Amino acid sequence: MNARDVIIRPLLSEKSYAGIQEKNYAFVVAKSANKTQIKLAIEEIFGVKVERVNTVNVMGKLKRMGRNEGFTPAYKKAIVQLAKDSKSIEFFDSLS
């Protein structure tokens, strides 16, 4: 699996913004990706040193429109902790 196939997009939310100061970054990743693949992909794409990776499978929420109902798409979220001596990810620097 290619590094760009593992990392789908950054996850931008209030909770993810709070972790930027401690070098915690959140990403939406491929459902089939494991922690090792995520770590290698982040290191390759952004040129940083990853200390640890936590993953969460986020289930879709039930939504209704009138009498019709369905689920929003489920996805996998990865919270990446960078090493203390690592540089920060430039994309997130402008957001904090």
CA distance 33 to 67: 36
Q: What is the pTM of this model?
A: 0.89
DSSP codes, 13-65: SHHHHHTGGGTEEEEEE-TT--HHHHHHHHHHHH---EEEEEEEEEPPPEEEE
Decide which of 94 and 68 is more confident: 68
Average pLDDT taken over every residue of the chain: 94
Task: Give tens-digit pLDDT for 42-87.
Answer: 999 999 999 999 999 999 999 999 999 999 999 999 999 999 999 9
